[in-house]
Structure 1
């Protein structure tokens, strides 16, 4: 049953990432940095932080036995966000010798995700 729930929630997360990516690419067809994955990863960090704050009220390091963590934390947000695409896009900026864009993309992605996770977590604690 856990594998089934993980599959369904992961599929929904991947579809949500794809659809949001289509909207963003439609609005910004030629951005200076890869804004699609930047937006998806930062939004995913916010959502995961909100879930942790509201549901766990802490940041457990090992919650794999919890069904909601499996569904939302690993399934939905795991499929919604993507570190591998971020890494590929960052490497592509380096390959093109776009060093400033690379630094901005990496800094905004990493710091933005941490800040947004923290904001979501705090909001989750406050709301619930």
Structure 2
């Protein structure tokens, strides 16, 4: 339990740093969320593929690093603004890229 909490602390800090970096470069919050979630999916695939099932890394760090809720909020904002196609495309692209990146890292690393 302590390992998950400590991993979560560091994962949240890393998320903030990566999110800030991506947002400052792209000037688009959705890109930052997509980037962080994609990086987390890739990292999780790499860890599990290598046999590392550490609660610190998988549940703690990567659980706090990635976020479903921010992705959902971004999509809901699009839906509220009447941008249905944009919201659905964003969700589909984010989920698909996460699965592909996880699979690539799991298989090849």
Q: TM-score, normalised by structure 1?
A: 0.80
The structure with the largest alpha-carbon Rg is: 1
Gaps in structure 1 of 5+ consecutive residues: 57-65
What's the counterpart of residue 36 of structure 1?
32
Gaps in structure 2 of 5+ consecutive residues: none
Deviation at 1:7, TM superposition (A): 1.1
Question: Secondary structure at 2:51's aligned position in 1?
Answer: helix
CA deviation map 1:35-78 (0-9, x unaligned): 1111111110000000010015xxxxxxxxx6x1x111100110
Q: Determine the C-alpha separation between the residues in 1 that align with 2:16 and 2:86.
A: 24
Match of 2:60 among 67, 75, 79: 75
Determine if the alignment matches structure 1 residue 117 to structure 2 residue 102. yes
What's the counterpart of residue 10 of structure 1?
8
Match of 2:24 among 23, 26, 36: 26
**Which of the two has greater helix per residue?**
2
Q: Determine the C-alpha separation between the residues in 2 that align with 1:94 and 1:122.
A: 35
Q: TM-score, normalised by structure 2?
A: 0.93
The CA RMSD over aligned residues, in Å, is 1.4
Higher RCO (CA < 8 A, seq sep 6+): 1
